[in-house]
Structures are given as structure tokens and as C-alpha cells.
Structure 1
Amino acid sequence: MNVKGRSDKTGERLQLTSVVDESEVHGREKDKEDILKMLLEVESSDSPVSVIPIVGMGGVGKTTLTQLVYNDDRLKDVFDLMAWACVSYEFDAFRITKIILEAVFSGSCDYTDLNMLQVKLKESLSKKRFLVVLDDVWNEKYGDWDILRRPFLAGKPGSKIIVTTRHEKVAKIMSRILAYHLNLLSDNHALSLLAQHSLGTKTFDVRPDLREIDSPREWEGVLNSEIWIAEEKSEIIPALKLSYQYLPPELKQCFAYCAIFSKDYEFDKSQVVYLWMAEGFLKQSQEESLMEELGNGYFDELLTRSFFQKSSANTSRFVMHDLINDLAMCVSGYKCLRLDDMLKDNLRYKISEKVRHLSFIPRYYESYDRFSSVNSFQSLRTFLPLSYDNFGLYELSQRVLLNVVPKLYCMRELSLSGYQIYELPSSIGDLRHLRYFNLFGTLLKWLPESVSKLCNLQVLILEDCYRLSKLPARMDKLINLRHLNIADTIQLREMPEGIARLTSLQTLSKLIVSKSSGLKINDLRDFSHLKGEISIKELQHVVNVQEATDARLTNKSSLNKIRLVWSSTFDDSRNEILELDVLDALKPHENLSSLEIMSYGGAKFPSWIGDSSFSMLTTISFRFCKKCSTLPTLGKLPLLKDLSVQGMDHVKAIETEFYGNVCDGESLFPSLENLTFENMSQWEEWHGLAPGAHCAIEIPKLRRFHIRRCPKLVSLPTFRFHH
């Protein structure tokens, strides 16, 4: 389930971002205008809210059309609030209400009681005209709909709810309005749409040669293929099967594995690649690229072939269309089992003891009974909860951890993400084949030492385990570990020195510099494959500049986001000159895109910060660097979009050095969109381009400019903004 909200009319409009564009309404112009007319009408009705059902077969374009309607500017001044929720098979009033409420509030909420959620949503909708989209509804129980709709009755007359569904019965249950039926495109419109996407024109007249690409015999071969013969009780469109049939073998197995994802589940690209890697799908030879690069290529190929598509609610995540999802289930055979489907009357496949991959939607309390049959799947390789949020509200019976999970000896991919787990049994170390272990958001304080026995482990995810304070001492035994994600583990104070021997690491989200026997800054020397982002903390423990030089950050071209953090305590033990030299020695590669420096104790910044060679930098943040009295030269960085300066107590004035040498007519900060100064207790003056100069400072793309808690600031230059 996913959602994208929109603020009220006084704030910034947030559109539902979609992978479709306006060309895809081709042939649907009348449908779009008809639905818009229904939305813009204010009916005289007993109920303040009208439900508009849109009915059509799967894949006909209900969601695409509704997205285009939702984003139409004509709705901009009509509705005070807008929200979108994808419902699918799991019609859960609590979950849907919560997501809509969070869209209205533009943030998360922690209510665990449906009544409280509905009270808050009712208050938010009261006397406001809203538009809510409930996409892909299957539930035919009036009682469930009656519970969900109660808060909507508080809205202002003219409020609307769009419901998309495949079933006429659903439309009749949810609305007294006649359903709007979306029919198939005509042959001419379908051909024109194909031309639009392939040639950018509405016909094939400009490319008559395309008609001769294949011989008639080849087309007849496609036409007469057995793939078009409909299997009994099969609802898979034969054309989709044909698309699968022509996939290379390596892509077929990767796609079939994705049957483990339930409909409308949004997945990360990296998550899918890690799972494929754990299954051994990404074979590499000495000459080939890294497995992850191979997996990224496979993923991109499936994306370009439309087996995957970008999520309309979150463009950093991906989904499979319902029909593609059905295809994945069809081709996976008995290997993939979604536990929730076992309870469905329309189960279309036999449950076999040879099941390899198991997924399920987490419940707020997971009983032992739900998983008691899992041990009968002796060859199970995947145990994957599919959480639709990251709130970590789920409880898991201790019997599952003690009596089910440790007996799955063939397990390769194990996720316990989001569960309120305080301790793992030491028997977890018996899962010797485990390659992917996801403990995101759990309440673990430490991992058992037996985890060090998992010598085949490739991915260990401990992100957001905010109670975690200790890692296994013998982590050096995890010789195949490639990704160690320990981001947002705020209680973790030290890391075992054995991590230095895990030279295959590509992800090391955090390094805590030890004062004694733990990991040191120079241990980064041999991590030649590091990529992505890293936070290096407790840098005040670096007492030798050579140690910082030996970290060789300048050689790590794939490490593009770096956070450098010293202690927030500024006492006599801090050495301003040493810290300047250390920061200078930690110069990263010029591919850097994001730099954050926090609690640095030097009196100035080294010359590499702001140097024009760092032309890829898009984000810079200086936080609580209390000893610095000047800012580096940043005005000429061509791609810098976000700049934040906070808590720099020694800065009294921003001088012309901040801009760099500016030629006549040249813009400063050519790409800067967000600029923030905050908690600058001694800041008094902000000078212009030159002393006494009257020309305004032009920042052409600036959209957000904040100055907060700067009590002594009295002098500002003149700015010229284009927005």
C-alpha cells in the first residue's frame, strides 16, 4: 500500500509523481474529461462526500488515467486536501486510515488504535473539501467499507472519493453512483500510442521501413505460437507470457524469484539485487564486473522491458503491475509461496513441500501457529516479511525464534525486519548457508557471538537498531561479507578491529574511530571497494595525521557521501591545529556529491573544501563547528543545491571570500535551491560582493532561504531571486 498526499491550498502543492506522461492519455481524452467533470461538480446530496467508482479489467489503464486526473491543475483550487492509497487485496481499515492521515499531516503518526486514528482523521477533514483515491479495491464486504468511510462524512460538501476496481460488485457496495466503465482502447488508438512511444509521433507514416523488419513467416510463427493457447482457468494474458518466453535465461530466474513480492509491494533496487545475489543468480568470472553491478544491469533490463515500473508514490522504489505479478507467480511454479494466499479461496496453485521462498505481510502480533507449518518446508531458502511501512510495531512469538527459524538449515535469505525482537538465540549461528540477514529496526542490544559462524553471509542489515550497543567480537570470520549497514545505531560506541579484515566490504555505513583496541581510521586503507555513503565518527580519537592520510579517502572514487563527526564536547583535550591537519588529510575523491562536517574543532577549513575540482558536490552541511571564524569559498560550485550552516559560534561576518572571484554578469551559486543559516549566536554582518558594492547578489534558482536564531545579525546584502 502506498500513498502521496497534497497540502492545503495555502501551502505548496505536492503532485502524485508517476512514470506515465500526458501522452499516455492518448485515446482517453474523453474519459479524462468525463471524470474531471464529475469531480468539479458540487452535487446537492444528503452526504457531503460522493464516491466515484471506475471499473475495468486488469491492465486497461484505470490507475494511469486516475493519476493523470489527480495531477490536473484544474483541481488545484477545488480541493483543500488530497491523498492517494493503493488498497489491493489487503483491505485493512486501520492501515488505510493511518496512511491517509499521514498524508494529511505530511508525516508519521504513532497511533495504534483504529478509533483514535479515525477521530484524528475526522478532525483533519472537518469542514474541508477533499479528494481521496482508493486504488485497486477488491474487498466486497460492506461492513469493512462502512467502518473506513466514517471519518469522510465530516468533510465539506463537494468532497470526492475515487475508487478503482475490477469488479462491478465492489462499485455497487461503495457507491450509489453508476460506475464509470473504462473500456479497451480502439485498435487505432492503441497503434497510435505505440507510435507515440516508439517514434514520438502519432503514426508510423514517417517510418514505413518498420513494416519490413520481420518476414511474414516470422510473424506467423509468433501468431501460431502455443503461448496463445489459453490454459484452463489461467488469467495470464498470452502476450505477457510471450514477453517472458523471450527473456534470456538469467533474467527468467531473476524475474520468477520476484513472485515472492505481493501485489502493490514497493521494493528497493538494492534489496532485490541482494536477494538475487544470495540465491546465486549473479555469477561472475574474473573478467566480469562485481555481482552487484551485474544485478543492477539485470534489474535495469527488466525495468526497460516493463516487468518492473517505478512506484507512483515513491520514485526511488519499484512495483510490478498486477498482471506482471500474476505472471511471476505463474512461471515460478511451486517455488514461491506468499503465506497470506494460503487463506484465499481462489488459490491457483498447489502448496508443495518443495517451496523454496516464503513471504508474508506482517501482523501486529505474529503467533507461533501462523508459522508452525513452515518446518515442513525442508528446503526453504527465503523467509521474508513484506512490511508496507517501517514503524516496527510488530511482535513476534519467541517460539518462532526458538523453534522455527533455527531449524531452517537451508536458509539463504532471512529477514526479521521491523519486529520487536530484543534477543536472538545463539542457534542462529547454525544457519551456515545464510547469505542475507536483515534485522532493520529491531530492538536488539547485541548480536550473539554465534553470528560469526555465518561464514557465507554477504549482507548484514542492522540499520535503525537504535538499542544496538555491541557487535560480535570475531566479525573477521565473516569473510564473504560485502554489505554492513549499521546506519542510525546511536548506542553503538565501538566497532571490533576484526572488521578491518573484511576487505570485500562495499557498504560500511559507519566507522567509529576507537580510542583503544577497536577500529581505527587507517583501517579504511584496504577497503578499496567502498561505495555509497559513510559516516566517520569520533574523529577526536585520531592523534596522528598519518593515520588519516592512510585512510586513503581520495582513492575511493565510488564513495560519494561522507559525514565527518567529532565529539560535541569542546574541552582542553581538543587540538585546533591537529584537527585542521586531520580534516585536510581526509580529503575525499572529487566524485563526492554530499559532505557533512559536524563538531569540527579547527579554526578554519582546509583549502580542498570549496575547491572547484569538487564539481559534483550537491549538498554541504556545516554543523556546530564552533571554532571556525570563516566560511570556505562555495559560490562557484556548479551543482551545489543544498547548503546548511548551523551552530558556528565564532563567525561574526560573512566576507566576500564566501563567493569566490565573480566576473561581470556571472551568477553565484548557479544551482543552489536551499540555503539555511541557523543558531549563529555571534553573526553580525553579511557583506556583499565587494566592500561598498551596490550590485545585488543573484542566486538564480534559490527556492528556500531560512535564517533562524541569529540574534545579532544586523547587516544583509541585497539579493535578487528569480523565483
Structure 2
Amino acid sequence: MVRKMLRDAPANDKPSSNNTNCYSVIGIHGVPGSGKTTVAQYVCDKEKDYYYFNLFMWVHVSQNSSVATIFTEMLEILSGRKTNQFSDIDMLQSELEGKLRDKRFLLVLDDFWDDQNAIQLDLLLSPLKVGAMGSRILVTTRTADAAKALGAQNLVAISDLDEEQFFSMFMHYALEGAKVSDQNLLRSYQSIGRKIAEKLGRSPLAARTVAGQLKLRLDIDFWTSTMNNDMLNNGTAATLWWSYQQLEEHLKQCFTYCSIFPRTYKLQRDELVHLWMAEGFVKTTKETEDMEDMGHYYFNLLLSTSFLQLKVNEFSKEYFTMHDLFHDLAASAAGSDFFRIEEGMVGNIPKDVRHLFILSYDERVFQEEILNLKSLRTLIMSSSSNKSMNIEDFRSMLKILKKLRVALVEVENFPTISPCVGQQKHLRYLGLFGKIPMMTLPRQFTELYHLQKFAVRCTTSVDFHFKNEIANLVNLRYMICRVFNSPDIRRLTLLRTLPVFRVKKTRGYEIQQLEHLDNLRGNLSILGLENVESKEEACQAKLANKVHLSYLVLQWNSDQKSDSEEVIEALRPPFLISSLKIVNYNGSTYPCWFSREKDALKNLQHLELSDCNAPPVIGESFLNLHTLVISNCTWSSLPENLERLTFLEKLVIRSCSNIMHLLLLPQSLKVLTLESWEGSLLPENMEGLECLEELSLRKCNNILSLPTLPMSLKKLEIHECSNSLAETCYTDGHPNWHKIAHIKLTRISGFNLPLPR
């Protein structure tokens, strides 16, 4: 029914006239838990198999959403990257129009609330009018009136799904991604699936949940036993309980653990996996199995069977929630093991509770009740709690609650952790949040032999009152802080995070300390490379073995000389590194792995060179480069053959006083930024850069005249350049004025009025 509505109106490829919208609105409405989002997801999945719509956009509309956040999310979906907000609502609207013009789109507004005072509906719909005829808006909402406010004339109550539509959706999720080549077997699945679907009362949520279990077990016997199970006849809640019973025991533990969080809590994938690991829920059966990988496998199983739901915020960042019915199920299964203290709560905390979440902190409750919970294994305070834990209560927690495995608390500003922290023999995850500029850890901290993760705010520096003892923390996987600068880290072989390692000419800080830290992930900055005394020392760091790293910084101190050419040759990065930054390299040539070996940096997409003596040779290693940043370098020209970089999309040149001419730039370029540049002429092939969308000129005082700019240019920023350039851009009839007339988003510092058109 819904898919038929998507195509009912005649469509052509022309934009709408002033009197006719290019789109129509379809509303799916129903009570919470009825499966509105499931239906919309199914419709989108099926439509993507065809080529009727050119563009798809899915935006979750929360109660706090504004037109600006919705526009921003739509732009990020359409562009595939973060929106660089110049960025008022008019600019967002203009850029959206550019993306949507003459395109037939399908926009899903999921969970649209009927508080129409919160969103200006006319403004929200305005940029959509430039699309091609046949475009559609699909809105899911709790009431028909909310859909009507958006202009919906086609309304679907969730109870209106007919039997065939429901069956089709059910089988889509039950066989999603499965390859069943035996047609007789496929017919058997279809036949049994139809009988299972008939039991589910046309509830989309029940359909997706049961289908998720069937997809995990493409086994006729399991499908048949499911078909014969009478529990599926007893409504959605009973069906969800049946689905829970199909989980293995470790998955049940992980799922019920989620009941500790409030209903509206935004779960983060990595954080939840780390909590499961700390609680001992994640099991590996082989030495070669990685605990994080297993935890993520558990997470994906719960996600694929709808126990967890994927959401995306206004910055296109993933988070996860639990449907209210699943939250009720988790709470029922958890029993008295889990408890939450919420604002205005009355009644006592169960004495046998093992996992406690504090939404509203109260000193009296903590001192009189929580400190008496002798079985407590988890204590988590909400970061939005209106009160922090004081130093006395924190010390009492460490001394009294001896069975804690997880402690995540909001604390007042205190500079040191009490030595009694060493008494927490079972502690695996300690997180301290609050305004803590610096924290000192006592020597007893190294007695937390089971500790897997220690986290403070990223603005907090951690000082250690111990030296060799750091090696006692053999289970440490994550040390999250601004600076982790401890000697003798070589035995922390499970460590995943080491944002900065500073090489010193002091025992315990040698670059060889990195040799066995092959589990490092994400970002690693190695500073103080002038203190590496030989190529042999650099080789012992074995950087090439750190295959999970994605971003590497190699930095020398500009005030000290060293044999940097031999050292950098030995610091070969892992071959799948995607981002590389080199700072203060004083060598006259670059290593073989940098530019002369074809596959040495085959995945490199971002390269930044800062304060380096020599320009690199554009070799085979750079052919997949997307971003190139050159800053404070002394070269007299850009690297030769820059136009060979056929995938380069962004070029930034900053404070390079000797580079006076840009010559030819790659045709693929989309963003060009020049800052503190002393040249006067832009690239020779500027007009031919037909992919260029953004041009930013900052502190470029010698540019007085603009070349002919490509028609593809959508954003122009001129900031702190010559007054003459700014004034002529505003002078009606001046050549500079004509050259920017086609650019919709223009910002020139010192002028607040819009450009004349």
C-alpha cells in the first residue's frame, strides 16, 4: 500500500511550478510500539532496489529538533560529509536547494511530533520545492493530525496493513542477505513463513523481531518449531519474550544489562561493549579471539534482532536505543539485580542489587543506603546528574564497596585519588567525570591488576606518582585522558589507546617501549623524535606491526638537530594507515616507503606536512590521496605533477611564504583553502576546476583581482584579505563583482550586508 502511494502520482523530471509542489506527503501513524519505523525502513529498503528515486534521506526528528538541525542532517546525508557551516539558515536552505534541484527524492521524517510550534513547517518544506516531480515525503508519527500538518493527504494507520504486505515485509527481514539457491527449499521457507506471519497480528515490531531470529537460523526444523509455538499467538509482548528466550545465555546477560539505563538513554556501541567486558559477560574460547571483536559480535546480534535500535543524531553520529517494549522486557528479565535512582524516587533500594544507575545524586541516600549494598558490582552516575560526588563519598566508595567492577561517577574538582583505590581488587572500569584539569594517581593505583579501562575527561592531564609499577596493569586496554605520560609501558601489550608517546633521553621513555604494543588503535602521535639516536632504535619500535592504527603523527623538535633521514626510513607505518602527519622533518629527501614504493601507503587518504624542509615527490603512494595540507614549509613551489592526484578533493596551503605560484591543480579538487599566502595569482587552471565547490582566502593580502571562477563554486570566503579586494567584490559592475555573481554562499569579512545581485 505505502509503496504504491510512493508512485501513484504521475512523475516527470521537471521541477515544480509555483503552483504545484513536486512532492506529495504520505503519513504512517500509530501508537508507540506499533511498528511505524519498521514499515518505513522496509519501504526504503525495497525502493533502493529500483531506480525511481534519485536521492534518499532519512532524518529522525526528535522533540528538540529544529529546522536548522534537520537541514544540516539532510545536507550531511546528501554530501556524505560533515556540513561546514558558514552557516545560517538561509545558507543551509540555499545549499539544500542546490543538492535537490531537479532530483526526485524520498525524504523520511521519522518520529515526527505534533508540536507544530517547535518547527516552522513552511520553512522546513521550502527547499524541497525545487525537486523533480514525483518526489515524496514519508512521515512516521503518532497522530494523523501531525502528518496532516505537513500536508499529508495519503494516510496509513499501522493497523491498515493488509495480509500480503505484512507477509512480504516479514519475509524480507527473515531472508535478508540470505542466498537460498535451492528453489524447493525457498518455497518451504515461504510456506512456513506465511504460517508464522499469520500468528503475529500484523505487528511490524513483532515481525521484525521474529524474522531476526529466523534469519540467524536458516534451518527448516527451527522454522517449523517456531511455526508450532503457540506463544506467538499471544500478542507483541509475548512474541518479544519468545525472542528473548532464543538468545544464548551470554546474550541474555548483555541485553538485560541495558535495563540499568533510563528509557531515553542514548547508548554508544563501544562504551556498551566495554561495560559488558568489565562485567565479565564477553567470553572468548580461543587465545586468538579478540574480546572487543566478540563484544561487537554480541552487539550486532542484538541489533539485527531488534533488541537494540540504530538512530542517527543531527551530526550523523550513530547512537542506539531500546524500544519501550524491549526496555520493559529487559527490566522484567533483570529482576532485582538492577536498580535506578531517579529524581523524586521514594522507597528503599533492594539490598541484593548488583547494578545501580544514579540519575539524581543524593548524599544522604548514598551514605545511608548505597554504602550498605555489599553485593554492588556496578555504580554508574548520569553525567546529567544535578550534583557531583564529593571527595569524602568517593573515598568511602573505594573503601567500603569492595566488589565493584564498574564505577563511573561525576566528581567534584579534587586533585588526587586516595591511596585506598588499591583496595578495589575487582575493579575493571573506572571513569571519573567532572571539571578536573589535573589529577594525580597514587602508587596504589598500580595494584588494580584487573583494570581494563581508566577514563577521565579529555581535558584532564594525569600525573603518576610511580615509575616501573605501571607495568603491573597488564590487563589495561584503555587509558583515556589528555596526557598519558608514564615510563615503562612496554608490558602493556593489551593497550588500545595511546594518543601521545613522547620520546625522551630518559630510561623508560625510549622509542623501543612501543615494540610489543601491537594492539594500539586509532590515533598515535610520536613526539620528540630528535631523541631517537639511531636507525636501529627506530626499527625496534616496529611501527609496521601496529596494523590497527589509522592516524599517525611523526614529530621532531624544531630546535634540535638529529639524523632524521635514517630515523624516518626506519619508522615505516602500517601499510593500511589512512592519515599521516609529519612535523619539523629537516631531511632533504623522504624515505622509500613515503613516495617511491607503490603499495607502501596504499590506503593513505589524508597527508599533512608541517615545517618540513623539502617538498615530497608525488609518487605511487599518493594516488588515493583525498586531502593534502601543507603548512609553514619553506619550499619555493608545490610538489611537481600535483595534477596526478586524480582523487584529491581538498588542498590547504597555510603560511608557506616562498610558494608564490600555484600552477596546475588536480581537476578533482572540491575545496581549496589559502591562508597567509603571499602570492597574487590563483591557479592557472582555476576556471577549469569544474568540481570545485568551496574556495577560502584568509590573510592573502596580495590578491587584488579574482580570476574567472568555475560555475561549480558554491561557497566563497574572503577573510582578512586586502580592503581593495573586499570593496571591489561589493562594487556593482566591477570585474570582481561579476566573477562572484553566480556564487550563492559568500562571506567577506568586514561586510555584513548581502552582496548586491
Write the letter of the residue equivalent to 1:527. L
Look up the SS of the partner of 1:334 in the other structure. helix
Q: Which of 495, 518, 523 is 1:505 aligned to? A: 495
* Correspondence 1:408 to 2:401: yes
In structure 2, C-alpha distance between the alignment counterparts of 1:357 and 1:456, rounded to whole Å: 19
Q: Given that residues 307 and 326 in structure 2 are in contact (C-alpha distance below 8 angstroms), is that contact kept between their aligned partners in structure 1?
A: yes
* Correspondence 1:684 to 2:688: no
Q: Residues 53-202 of structure 1 correspond to what in structure 2 (within 5 A)?
A: 55-62=30-37, 65=40, 86-87=62-63, 96=64, 135=111, 182-184=157-159, 185-197=161-173
Deviation, 1:298, is 2.0
Structure 1 residues 617 and 56: alpha-carbon distance in aligned structure 2, compared to 1, 3 A threshold: same
The aligned counterpart of 1:556 is 546
Deviations 1:24-78 (A, max 9, x none): xx636659999xxxxx9x9xxxxxxxxx995523142158749999x99xxx9xx
Deviations 1:549-601 (A, max 9, x none): 2111122222332122333xx33xx22x5123222221112122221223333
Structure 1 residues 528 and 133: alpha-carbon distance in aligned structure 2, compared to 1, 3 A threshold: closer
Look up the SS of the partner of 2:302 in the other structure. helix
The aligned counterpart of 1:622 is 608
Q: Given that residues 396 and 421 in structure 1 are in contact (C-alpha distance below 8 angstroms), is that contact kept between their aligned partners in structure 2?
A: no
Write the letter of the residue equivalent to 1:609. F
Q: Given that residues 171 and 179 in structure 1 are in contact (C-alpha distance below 8 angstroms), is that contact kept between their aligned partners in structure 2?
A: no
The aligned counterpart of 2:265 is 265
The aligned counterpart of 1:300 is 300
Look up the SS of the partner of 2:616 in the other structure. coil
In structure 1, C-alpha distance between the alignment counterparts of 2:143 and 2:343, rounded to whole Å: 20
Q: Residues 173-252 of structure 1 correspond to what in structure 2 (within 5 A)?
A: 182-184=157-159, 185-197=161-173, 209-213=185-189, 221-222=225-226, 225=229, 227-228=231-232, 237-252=237-252
Look up the SS of the partner of 1:508 in the other structure. coil
Structure 1 residues 429 and 155: alpha-carbon distance in aligned structure 2, compared to 1, 3 A threshold: farther
In structure 1, C-alpha distance between the alignment counterparts of 2:372 and 2:403, rounded to whole Å: 12
Look up the SS of the partner of 1:628 in the other structure. coil
The aligned counterpart of 1:705 is 672
The aligned counterpart of 1:664 is none
The aligned counterpart of 1:311 is 311
Deviation, 1:677, is 1.9
Deviation, 1:468, is 1.4
Structure 1 residues 544 and 304: alpha-carbon distance in aligned structure 2, compared to 1, 3 A threshold: same
Q: Residues 506-521 of structure 1 correspond to what in structure 2 (within 5 A)?
A: 506-521=496-511
In structure 2, C-alpha distance between the alignment counterparts of 1:133 and 1:406, rounded to whole Å: 51
Deviations 1:243-272 (A, max 9, x none): 222222232222222223333433333222
Deviation, 1:616, is 3.9
Look up the SS of the partner of 2:463 in the other structure. coil
Look up the SS of the partner of 1:275 in the other structure. helix
The aligned counterpart of 2:332 is 330
In structure 2, C-alpha distance between the alignment counterparts of 1:200 and 1:164, rounded to whole Å: 23
Deviation, 1:513, is 1.8
| Number of residue pairs aligned between Structure 1 and Structure 2 | 601
The aligned counterpart of 1:368 is 363
The aligned counterpart of 1:377 is 373
Deviation, 1:411, is 0.9
Look up the SS of the partner of 2:622 in the other structure. coil
* Correspondence 1:484 to 2:474: no
The aligned counterpart of 2:203 is none
Structure 1 residues 393 and 225: alpha-carbon distance in aligned structure 2, compared to 1, 3 A threshold: same
Q: Given that residues 388 and 410 in structure 2 are in contact (C-alpha distance below 8 angstroms), is that contact kept between their aligned partners in structure 1?
A: no
Deviations 1:135-170 (A, max 9, x none): 4879xxxxxx8xxx988689979899x9977589x9
Deviation, 1:543, is 3.3
The aligned counterpart of 1:281 is 281
In structure 2, C-alpha distance between the alignment counterparts of 1:228 and 1:67, rounded to whole Å: 22
Deviations 1:183-206 (A, max 9, x none): 2322211122234456689xx999
Q: Given that residues 339 and 357 in structure 2 are in contact (C-alpha distance below 8 angstroms), is that contact kept between their aligned partners in structure 1?
A: yes
Look up the SS of the partner of 1:656 in the other structure. coil
Q: Given that residues 425 and 448 in structure 2 are in contact (C-alpha distance below 8 angstroms), is that contact kept between their aligned partners in structure 1?
A: yes
* Correspondence 1:674 to 2:654: no
Q: Which of 446, 453, 471 is 1:452 aligned to? A: 446
Q: Given that residues 657 and 678 in structure 2 are in contact (C-alpha distance below 8 angstroms), is that contact kept between their aligned partners in structure 1?
A: yes
The aligned counterpart of 2:357 is 359
Superposition RMSD in Å = 5.0
The aligned counterpart of 1:27 is 2
Q: Which of 632, 644, 664 is 1:647 aligned to? A: 632
Look up the SS of the partner of 1:498 in the other structure. coil
Look up the SS of the partner of 1:497 in the other structure. coil
Look up the SS of the partner of 2:573 in the other structure. coil
In structure 2, C-alpha distance between the alignment counterparts of 1:101 and 1:404, rounded to whole Å: 44
Q: Given that residues 508 and 530 in structure 1 are in contact (C-alpha distance below 8 angstroms), is that contact kept between their aligned partners in structure 2?
A: yes
In structure 1, C-alpha distance between the alignment counterparts of 2:42 and 2:229, rounded to whole Å: 36
In structure 2, C-alpha distance between the alignment counterparts of 1:53 and 1:199, rounded to whole Å: 25
In structure 2, C-alpha distance between the alignment counterparts of 1:290 and 1:517, rounded to whole Å: 32
In structure 1, C-alpha distance between the alignment counterparts of 2:628 and 2:337, rounded to whole Å: 50
Deviation, 1:413, is 1.3
In structure 2, C-alpha distance between the alignment counterparts of 1:370 and 1:207, rounded to whole Å: 64
Structure 1 residues 628 and 241: alpha-carbon distance in aligned structure 2, compared to 1, 3 A threshold: same
Write the letter of the residue equivalent to 2:31. G
Structure 1 residues 339 and 229: alpha-carbon distance in aligned structure 2, compared to 1, 3 A threshold: farther
The aligned counterpart of 2:197 is none
Structure 1 residues 280 and 642: alpha-carbon distance in aligned structure 2, compared to 1, 3 A threshold: same
Q: Which of 432, 442, 457 is 2:425 aligned to? A: 432
Write the letter of the residue equivalent to 2:354. R
Write the letter of the residue equivalent to 1:320. M
Q: Which piece of structure 1 moves more, 352-361 or 273-282?
A: 352-361
Q: Given that residues 494 and 517 in structure 2 are in contact (C-alpha distance below 8 angstroms), is that contact kept between their aligned partners in structure 1?
A: yes
Structure 1 residues 206 and 497: alpha-carbon distance in aligned structure 2, compared to 1, 3 A threshold: closer
Q: Given that residues 113 and 146 in structure 2 are in contact (C-alpha distance below 8 angstroms), is that contact kept between their aligned partners in structure 1?
A: no
The aligned counterpart of 2:741 is none
Q: Given that residues 394 and 420 in structure 1 are in contact (C-alpha distance below 8 angstroms), is that contact kept between their aligned partners in structure 2?
A: no
Quote the sequence identity (%): 23
Deviation, 1:340, is 2.9
TM-score by length of structure 1 reads 0.69
Look up the SS of the partner of 2:470 in the other structure. helix
Look up the SS of the partner of 2:241 in the other structure. helix
The aligned counterpart of 1:637 is 622
Q: Given that residues 632 and 658 in structure 1 are in contact (C-alpha distance below 8 angstroms), is that contact kept between their aligned partners in structure 2?
A: no
Q: Given that residues 447 and 471 in structure 1 are in contact (C-alpha distance below 8 angstroms), is that contact kept between their aligned partners in structure 2?
A: yes
Q: Given that residues 367 and 397 in structure 1 are in contact (C-alpha distance below 8 angstroms), is that contact kept between their aligned partners in structure 2?
A: no
Structure 1 residues 583 and 370: alpha-carbon distance in aligned structure 2, compared to 1, 3 A threshold: farther
Look up the SS of the partner of 1:446 in the other structure. strand
Q: Which of 559, 566, 577 is 1:581 aligned to? A: 566
TM-score by length of structure 2 reads 0.66
Q: Given that residues 62 and 182 in structure 1 are in contact (C-alpha distance below 8 angstroms), is that contact kept between their aligned partners in structure 2?
A: no
Q: Which of 577, 598, 609 is 1:612 aligned to? A: 598
Deviation, 1:412, is 0.6
Deviation, 1:523, is 0.6
Structure 1 residues 206 and 545: alpha-carbon distance in aligned structure 2, compared to 1, 3 A threshold: closer
Structure 1 residues 135 and 543: alpha-carbon distance in aligned structure 2, compared to 1, 3 A threshold: same
User: Which sections of structure 1, spanning at least 5 residues, go unmatched?
Assistant: 1-25, 35-39, 43-51, 77-81, 88-95, 107-122, 139-144, 660-667, 689-696
Structure 1 residues 164 and 216: alpha-carbon distance in aligned structure 2, compared to 1, 3 A threshold: closer
Structure 1 residues 546 and 615: alpha-carbon distance in aligned structure 2, compared to 1, 3 A threshold: closer
Structure 1 residues 218 and 164: alpha-carbon distance in aligned structure 2, compared to 1, 3 A threshold: closer
Look up the SS of the partner of 2:489 in the other structure. helix
In structure 2, C-alpha distance between the alignment counterparts of 1:429 and 1:549, rounded to whole Å: 37
